[in-house]
Amino acid sequence: MPALEVLAIQRISADEAAMIKAVDASIKLTDAGGWFDGEIRETWPAFTSDRYLAPDANGSGCREERDRLLAEAEVVLGGWPFPLDLRARAPQLKWLHQRPAGASNLLRGDLWGSDVVVTTSRGSGNTLAMAEYALAGIMYFAKGLPQAAVDRDAGRFSHRAYRPLSLQGKTVCVVGAGGIGQDVGRLCAAVGMRVVGTRRTPGDGGSLPEGFALVGGPADLDHLLGEADFVVICCQWTPETNHLFDANRLALMKPDSVLVNVARGEIIEETALAAALQRGHLRGVALDVYDGEFETAPMAALWSDTRVLITPHISGMSDQNRHGAVELFCKNLSAYIAGQPLVNVIDWARGY
């Protein structure tokens, strides 16, 4: 059997490399993690490079060497950010697996809509850490903790400003009850909350995910928002979910409700969100993502508001690495060699 050229363009550990090689004797793995960092600095916004690359990371090899690696590759294991012209430089490429879960990460480059099969790590990320972040965001505003910073800056306490809520019996709506959303629902149910949610395909009446009282489809979202004390966005960013939370949908939320977003910033229309906050419509907003986060700082009107908690896409980080991207890649690699269907193939028309 001829060698299967597998190219890793994101850094992998020695254990991960061994895991990949162990899939089949035909695999020829080339670890080029970090080799393209210089190109990324030249082609991506400076904000992106400063955020995702080490300060002294400028790539390895010359352009001709990197071109040769891409030209020989049949399978690529990638990450974020990535070479924007990857498809044009990899004529033999048949399949790329990206370690992140979100398909929208690839919108900027020339892979989107191409003939290359692309799979994601959807459902295999640090979903529990993200769910813990969502619960922390809920508690942060439920207990009125933003007021503590206000009191510290003022040098005096305003006891009546805290207005703490009990989570017991409150309703949380999980928008996108997939891998992340199901962990959110399970944790919220464990602290006594009623959990409802939506997903693109809610199922055929089978068993509900653990902790959920109801899972509806997209058409049920507006009704569920009116019931929810807390709303957690976990869905994929697609043409259908772009600005899903616009002025009309934000108005459907309870006036004292809390919105948490651990998905993609573009799902919320931020000008509408700022307007809703200005008129005092929401109790608080926790954003681990924001519109344009890979290129610029957050909208000033949101970042300066004490009712808004913004973090730099860190909800999936923790001291325990439960990311299963390479494990999923290896399962797909076995299937690829055997000529069987792959898991998590992006449907370009659907958007994930």
Strands across the sheet containing 212-216:
212-216, 194-198, 171-175, 230-233, 258-261, 284-287, 308-310
As given in the structure block, the two tokens for residue 235 are 């869905």
CATH number assigned to the domain covering 127-310: 3.40.50.720
Write down the pLDDT at residue 60: 92
As given in the structure block, the two tokens for residue 145 are 């903790």
Q: How many helices (H) and strands (E) does the chain have?
A: 13, 12
- Confirm if 86 and 67 have CB atoms less than 8 A apart: no
Residue 297 identity (one-letter amino acid):
A
Write down the pLDDT at residue 351: 87
Classified as helix, coil or strand, 259 is strand
Q: What is the DSSP letter of 159?
A: G
Domain 4-124+323-338 CATH assignment equals 3.40.50.720: yes
Write down the pLDDT at residue 1: 64
Which is nearest to 286 in space by CA: 76, 87, 142?
142
Q: Is the pTM of this model over 0.85?
A: yes
101 Cβ contact list (under 8 Å, min separation 6): 120, 121, 122, 123, 124, 125, 179
Residue 198 identity (one-letter amino acid):
T
Q: Where are the domains of the chain?
A: 4-124+323-338, 127-310
Write down the pLDDT at residue 205: 57
What pLDDT, in 10s, does the model give residues 247-260? 999 999 999 999 99
- Confirm if 250 and 225 have CB atoms less than 8 A apart: no
Instruction: Say whether 127-310 and 4-124+323-338 share the same fold.
Output: yes
Measured distance CA(72)–CA(157) in Å, rounded: 65
- Give every residue of the chain whose pLDDT is below 70, as ranges: 1, 203-206
Write down the pLDDT at residue 2: 85
| Burial class for 21, CB neighbours closer than 10 Å (0-12, 13-18, 19+) | middle
Percent of the chain with pLDDT over 70: 99
Annotated catalytic residues are 264, 295, 313
Measured distance CA(36)–CA(60) in Å, rounded: 7
Measured distance CA(250)–CA(230) in Å, rounded: 12
Dihedral (CA of 99, 35, 289, 246) sign? negative
Measured distance CA(24)–CA(2) in Å, rounded: 12
As given in the structure block, the two tokens for residue 87 are 């498809």
